[in-house]
Amino acid sequence: MKIIDPLPMYTMWLREMIRFFRMKARLVSSFMMPLLFLAFLGIPLSLLPSGSMPGIPESMNFLDYLAPGILGMTLLFSSMMAGASVLWDKEFGFLKEVLVAPVNRLSIMLGRSLGGMTTSIIQGFMIIGISVFMGVNVSSVSGLLLSIVFMVLICATFIGFGVILATQLGDMEGFMSIISMIQMPIFFASPAFLPMEMMPHWIKSIICLNPFTYGIDGLRGSLVGYSTFPLIHDFVILLVISVVLMILGSYCFEKMEID
Amino acid sequence: MEDIIEVDGLTKKFGDLVAVDHISFMVKKGEIFGFLGPNGAGKSTCIKMLTTLLRPTSGSAKICGYDVVKERDHVRSYIGVVFQDRSSDRFLTGRQNLDFHARMYSMSKEERKEKISEVMDLLELNGKENIRLNNVSEGIRRRFEVARGFMADPKVVFLDEPTIGFDIKARMDLWNQIRRAKEKEGTTVMLTTHYIEEADYLCDRVVIIDQAKIVAIDTPDKLKEAVGTNLISLQIDCEPKVRKLENRRFSNANRNNGDFMETIKKLDWVKRAEEYSNSILLNVESGDGRVPELIDFADENGFIISSIDEHKPSLEDVFLHFTGRAIRDVEGGVKGMKKKGEIK
């Protein structure tokens, strides 16, 4: 058998697409939180005099700083859920149908991940649209294209992580009960909200260990032209982590049994 | 005929629980092979091992000559599976589910179109294909799943409790549809069921499985022959409320089943008597007027028969005979005690 079966992989992707556009309620609700953050946190704080926050250059207002962080948050949450969708399928029995098909599991995993990535990035672009509407200045078109690279990497990282978590926990209840305990620290221990220059020293070191930090930094660098680390530095770190997590995720999925 | 499924000493343990205990059997090409047993007997676990979803603890199984553990990719390409619980995407329509399945088996666009309309004809699903599955009845959804099982030209189709929760009309329809699909597609079918009628009506050969072990394996007719040709089941009224009659003949009533088992030995046309939780099953030589004769005999010996029924053996009796329990009892969680009294 081939390592990758293209048609089944495409089919898994297609299914994610059909389902995504079917669940309109989920789509609408996924914009709620980003919108609230931008409106009630971003806009008021952007009224502070420029240069009053360490780590944000004087030429930049806070809304510009925050928007890539909120974009990253949306990707983080939707990717983790995409990774966990394997559990929904298990719950509804559909996973068995997939697992008895003569298709290797790597293709299934990749197709599913590509589907999750596509839907996350579509949501991401909608967030960018909303941000621009609210007055965020996107630096350039090339920057916008570069941001896609970082979106893909963030998605791959956290879909992989979601799948590992999902296969280890085995059921939806278990997953849902610990997901916020994991998501929120990942989100807050990053420069998504506030620059790490404002954090105490010990938090800074945690932030530097968080892969999400490099995703946010990369998004910010490409979208609004300001980053803490060089972009290539962000890219390489995130690339390595995402590849490792995807491989681990595939391995866990491969070993999964249905009882 | 060649053996398309070969199972040898298959065992699955979940911790201390032995779900499937050293079972071995062969299924011939073109057969409808049934696994009959109560819920929890190990049928589904067995199917999951044969369909590569679970790894056996020990033993081996081959499908079309391929090992279900070592060559599971080969096995997967030869089988179609209809699971016990729902396994379709309820947010997609019936056709989308079938199409999805065909794509997973890398079928071309023309093949998919042709095959989908073929299986929809076989399962009589035309007109239902564009409704999302969360809006159709359970029976229709099930038929889509059965259709899907036959779609990718499988050599063996596994059906795990195909008609669970169906009314009798829907059940009969699905049986006929399964038969037709099997004939048309030339597949072998292996199904599990806890419905006696289903095994009897549909299966060429039946395995009776109870408490993780195979207790009997044969054609339904042969299994019934093993139990006997004519059966009379009866119940003795052990605490007769009619004692007020103070009838002379009932003076020594209030006897129990055990006494009756002893007494019945006097009748030479009773070939075998078996006692179950609250009834007695007699295997009798054929002849007219056995029931009246039996009632008279009971009367003379001071027993009160509260119910009596003469019938041809069914697979229900077979199950009772081999396991000592009625399949209904097992499902209700009541374990009937078995005491056998062989006569002659």
Q: Are the C-beta atoms of residues B103 and A9 closer than 8 Å to each other?
A: no
Q: B178 and B308: one domain? A: no
What pLDDT is stored for residue A239 in this prediction? Answer: 97
Residues of B in contact with A8 (CB under 8 A): 103-104, 106
The pTM (predicted TM-score) of the whole model is 0.77
CA dihedral B168, B170, B171, B172 (to 10 degrees): 90
**Shortest CA gap B193–chain A (Å):** 19
According to DSSP, the β-strands at B205-210 and B32-36 are: parallel
Average pLDDT, rounded, for chain B: 82
Q: Look at A259 and B48 and tell me if their CB atoms are within 8 Å.
A: yes
Asked if B24 contacts B62 with a C-beta cutoff of 8 angstroms, the reply is no
Are the C-beta atoms of B160 and B98 separated by less than 8 Å?
A: no
Inter-chain touch A8–B106, beta carbons under 8 Å = yes
Instruction: Judge whether residue B238 has pLDDT over 60.
Output: yes
- The answer on B233 and B164 residing in a single domain is no
Residue B64's pLDDT is 92
Chain-chain contact of A11 with B104 (C-beta, under 8 angstroms): yes
Contacts B90 to A, Cβ<8 Å: 92
* Residue range A91-99: mean pLDDT, rounded: 84
Sheet of strand B213-218: strand arrangement: B79-82, B156-160, B188-193, B32-36, B205-210, B213-218
Residue B344, pLDDT > 50, answer no
Interface of A with B (CB under 8 A): 1, 5, 7-8, 10-11, 15, 18-19, 22-23, 92-94, 96-104, 257-259
| Same domain assignment for residues B55 and B159 | yes
Tell me the torsion sign for CA atoms A148, A153, A159, A165. negative
Which is higher by pLDDT, B328 or A53? Answer: A53
In angstroms, the separation between the Cα of residue A101 and the nearest Cα of chain B is 6
Beta-carbon separation of B48 and A258 below 8 A: yes
Residue found by looking up tokens 């005999």 in the block: B297
For the ranges B83-87, B113-117, B172-176, the lowest mean pLDDT is seen at B83-87
Residue B96 and residue B234 in one domain: no
Max intra-chain CA distance, chain B: 84
| pLDDT computed for residue B342 by the predictor | 37
Q: Which residues contact B42 (CB under 8 A, 6 or more apart)?
A: B12, B19, B20, B21, B23, B209, B211, B212
Both B93 and B195 in one domain: the answer is yes
The share of chain B scoring above pLDDT 90, in percent, equals 24
Give residues with Cβ within 8 angstroms of B235, minimum separation 6: B278, B279, B280, B305, B306, B307, B308
Give the three-class secondary structure for B272. strand
Q: Cβ B91–A18 below 8 Å, yes or no?
A: yes
Q: Residue A112: what residue type?
A: R
Does the beta-carbon distance from A102 to B105 stay under 8 Å? yes
Is A22 close to B91, i.e. CB distance below 8 A?
A: yes
Q: How far apart are the first and last CA of chain B?
A: 39
pLDDT at A117 over 90: yes
Q: Residue B97's closest chain A neighbor by CA? A: A15
- Do residues B99 and A14 touch, judged by C-beta distance below 8 A? no
- Residue-range definition of the domain harbouring residue B197: 3-218
Of A18-22, A190-194, B300-304, least confident by mean pLDDT is: B300-304
From B218, B247, B267, the end of a domain falls on B218
Closest residue in A to B54 (Cα) is: A257
Number of domains chain B contains = 2
B41 plus B161 within the same structural domain:
yes
Lowest-pLDDT choice from A190-194, A247-251, B233-237? B233-237
Q: What is the mean pLDDT of residues A65-91?
A: 90
Q: Does position B25 have pLDDT exceeding 50, yes or no?
A: yes
Q: Determine how many CB atoms are found less than 10 A away from the CB of residue B290.
A: 19
Taking an 8 Å cut-off on Cβ atoms, the answer to whether A8 and B54 are in contact is no
Q: Is the pLDDT at B340 greater than 50, yes or no? A: no
pLDDT of residue B328: 61
Q: How confident is the model at residue A56 (pLDDT cuts 50, 70, 90)?
A: confident
Q: How many CB pairs under 8 A join A and B?
A: 73
| Domain-ending residue, one of B163, B184, B218 | B218
pLDDT digits (tens, 9 = 90+) for A216-227: 999 999 999 889
- Distance between CA atoms of B148 and B138, rounded to whole angstroms? 15
- What is the nearest CA distance from B341 to chain A, expressed in angstroms? 41
Q: With 90 as the cut, is the pLDDT of residue A245 above it? A: yes
Dump pLDDT digits (tens) for B85-112. 888 888 889 999 999 889 888 888 999 9
The residue ranges of every structural domain in chain A are 6-255
Are B63 and B163 members of one domain? yes
CA atoms within a 13 Å half-sphere pointing along the CA-CB vector of B13: 8
**Residue-level pLDDT at B272:** 78
Q: Is B244:B253 a contact under the CB 8 Å cutoff?
A: no
Which of B195, B218, B241 terminates a domain? The answer is B218
Interface pTM (ipTM) of the complex? 0.71
Based on the fold, state whether residues B316 and B236 are members of the same structural domain.
yes
Distance CA B178, CA B185 (A): 10
Residues B142-158 pLDDT 10s: 889 989 988 888 999 99
Q: Are residues B194 and B236 in the same domain?
A: no
Structure tokens at B137: 């009845």
Q: Do B165 and B192 belong together in one domain?
A: yes
Inter-chain contact B54–A257, Cβ cutoff 8 Å? yes
User: How are the residues of chain B apportioned to helix, strand and coil, as percentages rounded to the nearest 5?
Assistant: 40, 25, 35
Nearest to B83 among A19, A96, A103 (CB): A96
Same domain, B214 and B232: no
Q: Which residue of B has its CA nearest to A22?
A: B91
Beta-bridge partner residues of B93: B132
At residue B337, does pLDDT exceed 70?
A: no
**If you average pLDDT over residues A73-92, what whole number do you get?**
88
Chain-chain contact of B53 with A23 (C-beta, under 8 angstroms): no
B211 and B111 inside one domain:
yes
CA-based nearest distance A149→chain B, Å: 29
For residue A258, list chain B residues with Cβ-Cβ distance below 8 A.
48, 53-54
**For B56, which residue in chain A has the nearest alpha carbon?**
A257
Cross-chain residue pair B101–A101, CB shorter than 8 Å: yes
d(CA A167, CA A233): 31
Quick one: which H or E segment has residue B321? helix B315-323
B253 or A234: whose pLDDT is higher? A234
- Count of other CB atoms within 10 angstroms of residue A60: 18
Q: B106 and A97: CB-CB below 8 Å?
A: no
CATH number at residue B106: 3.40.50.300
Q: Which residue has the tokens 């009506």?
A: B201
Using CA atoms, how far residue A2 sits from A5, A83, A103, A111, A220, in Å, is 6, 24, 9, 15, 39
The pLDDT tens digits of the residues spanning B243-286 come to 545 554 554 555 677 778 778 777 778 877 878 777 888 888 77
The pLDDT of residue B263 is 80
Across chain A, mean pLDDT equals 89
